[in-house]
Structure 1
Amino acid sequence: MPVARARAKTLAEEWDLPRYVADFLEWVVTELVTNAVIHGQTMRGSRVLVAYHFADDLLRVEVRDAAGGMPCVGRGRGLQIVAALADDWGVTPRVIGKSVWAEIGVSSKRGRHDW
């Protein structure tokens, strides 16, 4: 998890994102990767992949694992944190495993996150 969090911080700096977005991104990545590793019940030796996409004032992070099963907000605080910080999030089933994604808007007109 520390590697994923550090990479998120580096990308936020490279993309010159506002501080609140960088903070939200670090938390979201940490929670999604932690969930994939701990709750994803992946097979030994399998990997968790993290992908980032930033375009049109929308930052999207996806965490993919090879485990079956779908995450649920009610089962732990990790996804509650993601739901609170991200503008949207969801799960995309894959042939093998799933991707859990979250989107954070990056706009000066953001309302609830415009501190």
Structure 2
Amino acid sequence: MAEPRSLQVRYRRRRPSVPAARAKARAVAFDWRLPPHVADSLEWVVTELVTNAVIHGRATRGTYVLVAYHLDDDLLRVEVRDAATGTPNLILSDTLASDLALSGCGLKIVAALSESWGVTQRVIGKTVWAELAMSSKEDEPHDR
């Protein structure tokens, strides 16, 4: 059993923070020697959650977005906390046109790449979290 690891990084709530958070997620994956499939998923999940916090959240000027990473055994939890009001919702659609839209698919990506995800309401703002498994389905033995 590996020792648990944690890290928190704070970003200003503005668009240039998205690529900075994405690069930091990749650096964390490298520093913590995460498997390549987890590193890729982590990069996408952080990008989508920080983008949502920066673009869609309604908060006062000068607020921050906090990205927290927690690695414990075979589970990596990433949390994005902001002071904005509102709750993100996964939009399910039956039409191809809306599935191909450039906006509105971030949480679909998060849901597809993570074992689980959710929203925790805070007194001020919220935390949107996702959990990524260190082992992939391909790594598990198959029954014959």
Paired residue for 2:91? 74
| Corresponding position of 1:28 | 45
| Normalised TM-score (structure 2) | 0.74
The answer as to whether partners of 2:83 and 2:124 remain within 8 angstroms in 1 is: yes
Q: Does the CA contact (< 8 Å) of 1:66 and 1:96 recur in 2? A: yes
Distance 1:64 1:24 in 2: 19
Structure 1 gap segments, 5+ residues each: none
Aligned length: 112
The reply on whether 1:59 has 2:76 as its aligned counterpart is: yes
Q: Quick one: distance in 2 between partners of 1:32 and 1:20?
A: 18
Question: CA RMSD for the aligned pairs?
Answer: 1.5
Show structure 2 runs of 5+ residues with no match: 1-17, 93-103
Question: 2:132 is aligned with what amino acid?
Answer: I
Contact persistence 1:20–1:113 (CA under 8 A)? no
Superposed structure 1 runs of 4+ greater than 6 Å apart? none
* Structure with the bigger percentage of helix: 1
Structure 1 residue 111 and structure 2 residue 137: aligned?
yes
TM-score, length basis structure 1 = 0.92
Q: 2:34 aligns with which of 17, 24, 49?
A: 17
> 2:64 is paired with a residue of what secondary structure?
coil
Alignment partner, residue 19 of structure 2? 2
Structure-2 residue corresponding to 1:92: 120
Task: Give the partner amino acid of 2:114.
Answer: A
Q: For the pair shown, which has the larger CA radius of gyration, 1 or 2?
A: 2
Offset at residue 113 of structure 1 (A): 8.1
Give, in angstroms, the shift of residue 42 of structure 1.
1.7
